[in-house]
Chains A and B, each alone.
Chain A
């Protein structure tokens, strides 16, 4: 993995037409500005992962697995 140090207002280029600018830095957050062609999809990673999680979660589950979990959760509470 490539690791680069940048200051506020500096940027990096990915390929010829994607630019990521460091717009603001606070104690635990960094604000990025991104210039990219319209067809490039930009998503927060946790959003894409949630999407993927939901798709798996929507699959039908068998009754045995469900009953199993229900019983285990009941035992946990005690």
Chain B
């Protein structure tokens, strides 16, 4: 029997229903927002690359997420040993990654944080914002990939 759905309040989608198994628990909150632990990932429509990380503990708190591989195809996160232990995995390949975006009115000023992605253990539904060992930029232009492609043409 499926788990009973829960009503939640969201910043951008009004009141919606989520399944308990869709709730992510952060081992410690997002940096700067340590008090909020539980989130769900929402989408406008299934084919979108843009997602929302909506807090369940604070309806007004939501972040825009992007699949980093749509921006950098060979994104290859390297985690600190203690982060792997905290997320209860043996290696990086067992985790899923999403990056946080700052969307500006001028599209050219929009950036993603490739240095500190959200790492998710899909099995346990736990997550953590990790600071990678790689030298990825903390502010990477969303359209950089597009620019590079244009250069290749």
Contacts and interface: CB of A to CB of B under 8 A. Distances in A.
B49 A70 contact: yes
B113 A72 contact: no
A50 B63 CA distance: 13
Instruction: Give the interface residue-count category, chain B.
Output: 35 or more
B87 interface: no
Contacts of B145: 76
B66 interface: yes
B127 interface: no
A53 to B, nearest CB: 5
SS class, residues of chain A in contact with chain B: helix
A68 B107 contact: yes
Given A60-B11, A65-B105, A70-B48, A50 B129 contact: yes
Interface in A31-78: 44, 46-47, 49-58, 60-62, 64-66, 68-70, 72-77
A7 B99 CA distance: 38
Contacts of B61: 58
B142 A50 contact: no
Contacts of B139: 53
Contacts of B18: none
B149 interface: yes
B32 A55 contact: yes
B104 interface: yes
A49 B103 CA distance: 17
B100 interface: yes
B102 interface: yes
B91 interface: no
A30 B32 CA distance: 27
B138 interface: yes
A72 B100 contact: no
Chain A to chain B: the 3 pairs with minimum beta-carbon distance, closest first: A51-B32, A50-B116, A51-B31
